[in-house]
Structure 1
Amino acid sequence: MRYNQDRRTFMKSAAITGLGLSALNFGDLQSLAGKRVGIIGLDTSHSVAFAKVLNAAEPDTAYMGYRVVAAYPKGSPDIESSTKRVPEYTETVKKLGVEIVDSIPALVDKVDVVLLETNDGRPHLEQVLPVLKAGKRVFVDKPIAGSLADAVAIFEASERYNVPLFSASSLRYTKGIEGLDKSTVVGADTFSPASLEKTHPDLFWYGIHGVEPLFTVMGTGCQSVKRIYTEQTDIVVGLWADGRVGTFRGTRSGKHEYGGTVFTQNGNVVLGPYAGYEPLLKEIIQFFESGKPPVSPQETLEIYAFMEAADESKRQGGAAVTLESVMKKAQSKRN
């Protein structure tokens, strides 16, 4: 898969730039004041990749001196593909000069900002609350939560504690999107792998990588969703309030790739290939510095409402389901 190939290239590059980091001396930690990064969850390659780039011997100036200083390794309680990674990834980040702590409160006391990287979205609400209560800006990796109701609750907590956060797939920054005049977009088709995980709504686990670029180019305003489902393929058709149509194809067979086509008033734009993790990481650092999320809560919640509506359409045999209906259901669970 192109995404996996690019990820391996990025990880290899990060590993090369990080040679000798076991002996890295951050010097007086006071010099890192305001730039100490903590990681929650060492069950995903994202944690290792981000740590290697930020803690490189000569990091890119785009990262503004931010360094990972502490990590809390526990992630998913029961997803084997996640839990089995923790020992290896813990040892890897320790060699980067990262202190391993035994609780999230202990982590929060040692850092200024947080990367919530747990691969499993279900514990994200519980994990993010101590961070928000402490007033620390946080990036929540995908999926933002294991349910739409929890996603709503996370943003409610962000507002309650007046602490900004954002969430995004790295595919939001796929090639072809940068520089696109979104005011000219009349429709879009995107695609990505869409492997399933029984503990999460179908598209939350991996389909998010194709749904997020769809919303990145189309913007908010999707009203309803219809889904065609087979064991090998998902096709989800979204109808926007202004009459535009956006579609997502999720694959579970054949060669898995990421991309799409954006239809504009001036011609078609091809999306892809995948641009790696660094464009997202640079946006995260800008957010840590400014406190201004690059993706609004409204857009993120609409993305997850789209995917939840797709699940409901599947349950109803492909019937149209409004995003308003699934949002009301999610909000009622919070009351």
Structure 2
Amino acid sequence: MMFGKSFEGWGAWHCWAIAMVVVQMVSRSALAEEPPVIRTGIVGCDTSHVIAFTKALNAEDAGDTYLGVRVTHAFPGGSPDIPDSRDRVGKFTDELKGLGVVVVDSIESLAPHCDAYLLESVDGRVHLEQFRKIAHGKPVFIDKPAAGSLAELLQIFEIAERTDTPVFTCSSLRFCEQVQSLVSDPAIGELTSATASSPYKIEPHHPDLFWYGIHGMEALHTLMGQGCQRVSRVETETMGVVVGEWSDGRIGIFRGYKSGPSYSDAYTFEVVGAKGVGHTHGFGGYEPFLLEVAKFFRSGEPPVSPEESLELFAAMEAADVSKAREGRAVELEEVMQQARHQVAKLETTEDE
């Protein structure tokens, strides 16, 4: 009888022990499946994006929304000849410190502490040299404008290929719900034309559309897809209009507002498809875009190809040429050839 009680007690204890082992194994398995933190370094603290992105990615309630991506370090940078950079870099750097981000005094100092990079400098002209310093195989997102010229963007992608560094660039408008809902709406069908508008602020050190018009241009090219062959541009005191002709005969139109609608109301998107039409407006926030960046940091697979970005930048540069030619249509291939020639000339000079 005593033996029986002892056996029953041992059996209960044994079952409990096995249950605890199973619980621990499941817990360890769950922990193993949790994504490790991707330590992210910011290059350039002179844009409001660094605050918005850091607050979203590092939010206490973010959980695994952004797949473990966290901003941990930052290099301030800054361009003294651009007021939007010079007058804001100190303020945004201090805000980042208040959010717990460690600020370093050189781009090179980021490398030991970071698994991925957000290249955020508001000045596109400095991106090429900054990218050279971080192109060592870790994923890099380059914020708009990706470069100061089409030729510089070509060089960035060449460096990325040579160093096996995953990279992509885009405006956050590409992934906003207002644009993506039109891209994926089966009721609209295959798009025959699209119109996109955005604020249109010009910065004198950049091609006209690079600074803010890029938001509307990126949305337009997202809606239309690749295949833009030529563009023409009309400019007035209040608006800039770019008309793009696609290889299959479709037409895409960008409207840039220099004045008029408020920031949010200036973003409008209209499409005509084989089955119907669609219209949205506004900007729904950075969350869909940041999720694409997080997926990219984890997989190394860019959601936007170099070819897509190069076509967009060729269209924006061609629009400047069209303006100089009083609105005449300019082939994208013309500006692409000029950019390739510039890069080849630079490479020849460097080899001498």
**Cα deviation per residue 1:46-69 (whole Å; 9 max; x = unaligned)?**
001111112222224221222111
Moved more, 138-147 or 158-167: 158-167
The reply on whether 1:275 has 2:284 as its aligned counterpart is yes
The reply on whether 1:321 has 2:330 as its aligned counterpart is yes
- Residues 39 and 116, structure 1, Cα contact 8 Å, conserved in 2: yes
The reply on whether 1:171 has 2:176 as its aligned counterpart is no
Q: How does 1:149-160 map to 2 (within 5 A)?
A: 149-160=151-162
Which position in structure 2 is the counterpart of 1:225?
Answer: 231
Moved more, 264-273 or 321-330: 264-273
**Residue type at the aligned position of 1:191:** S
Local SS of the residue matching 2:72? strand
Which position in structure 2 is the counterpart of 1:82?
Answer: 85
Local SS of the residue matching 1:144? coil
Query: Take 1:90 and 1:244, find their aligned partners in 2: how far apart are those partners?
Result: 45
Distance 1:176 1:90, change over 3 A: closer
Which position in structure 1 is the counterpart of 2:126?
Answer: 123
The reply on whether 1:138 has 2:147 as its aligned counterpart is no
**Residue type at the aligned position of 2:167:** L
Which position in structure 2 is the counterpart of 1:207?
Answer: 213
Query: Take 1:130 and 1:33, find their aligned partners in 2: how far apart are those partners?
Result: 25
Which position in structure 1 is the counterpart of 2:116?
Answer: 113
- Residues 173 and 275, structure 1, Cα contact 8 Å, conserved in 2: no
Q: How does 1:249-328 map to 2 (within 5 A)?
A: 249-256=255-262, 257-328=266-337
Local SS of the residue matching 2:62? coil
Distance 1:155 1:68, change over 3 A: same
Gaps of 5+ in 1: 1-30
TM-score (norm 2): 0.83
Query: Take 2:292 and 2:174, find their aligned partners in 1: how far apart are those partners?
Result: 11
Which has more radius of gyration?
2
Corresponding residue pairs, total? 304
**Residue type at the aligned position of 1:69:** T
- Residues 189 and 274, structure 2, Cα contact 8 Å, conserved in 1: no
Local SS of the residue matching 2:124? coil
Local SS of the residue matching 2:41? strand
CA RMSD between the two structures? 1.6
Local SS of the residue matching 1:190? strand
- Residues 145 and 211, structure 2, Cα contact 8 Å, conserved in 1: yes
Local SS of the residue matching 1:122? helix
Query: Take 1:176 and 1:121, find their aligned partners in 2: how far apart are those partners?
Result: 24
Shift of 1:238: 0.5
TM-score (norm 1): 0.88
Local SS of the residue matching 1:63? coil
Which position in structure 1 is the counterpart of 2:53?
Answer: 50
Which position in structure 2 is the counterpart of 1:18?
Answer: none
Moved more, 99-108 or 251-260: 251-260
Query: Take 1:176 and 1:324, find their aligned partners in 2: how far apart are those partners?
Result: 27
Local SS of the residue matching 2:203? coil
Shift of 1:33: 5.8
User: Structure 1 segments of 4 or more deviating over 3 A?
Assistant: 31-34, 180-183
The reply on whether 1:94 has 2:97 as its aligned counterpart is yes
Gaps of 5+ in 2: 1-33, 345-352
Shift of 1:183: 6.6
Query: Take 1:252 and 1:150, find their aligned partners in 2: how far apart are those partners?
Result: 27
Moved more, 135-144 or 249-258: 249-258
**Residue type at the aligned position of 2:206:** H
Moved more, 59-68 or 44-53: 59-68
Which position in structure 2 is the counterpart of 1:180?
Answer: 185
**Cα deviation per residue 1:5-28 (whole Å; 9 max; x = unaligned)?**
xxxxxxxxxxxxxxxxxxxxxxxx
Distance 1:131 1:32, change over 3 A: farther
Amino-acid identity (%): 49
Moved more, 300-309 or 166-175: 166-175
- Residues 173 and 179, structure 2, Cα contact 8 Å, conserved in 1: no
Shift of 1:87: 1.3
- Residues 35 and 67, structure 2, Cα contact 8 Å, conserved in 1: no
The reply on whether 1:239 has 2:248 as its aligned counterpart is no
Query: Take 1:244 and 1:261, find their aligned partners in 2: how far apart are those partners?
Result: 14
The reply on whether 1:71 has 2:74 as its aligned counterpart is yes
**Residue type at the aligned position of 1:234:** G
Shift of 1:177: 2.0
Which position in structure 2 is the counterpart of 1:16?
Answer: none
**Residue type at the aligned position of 1:305:** A
**Cα deviation per residue 1:237-293 (whole Å; 9 max; x = unaligned)?**
000000000010111121141012011111111133211111111110010011111
2:254 aligns with one of 241, 248, 251: 248
- Residues 40 and 75, structure 1, Cα contact 8 Å, conserved in 2: no
Distance 1:33 1:77, change over 3 A: farther
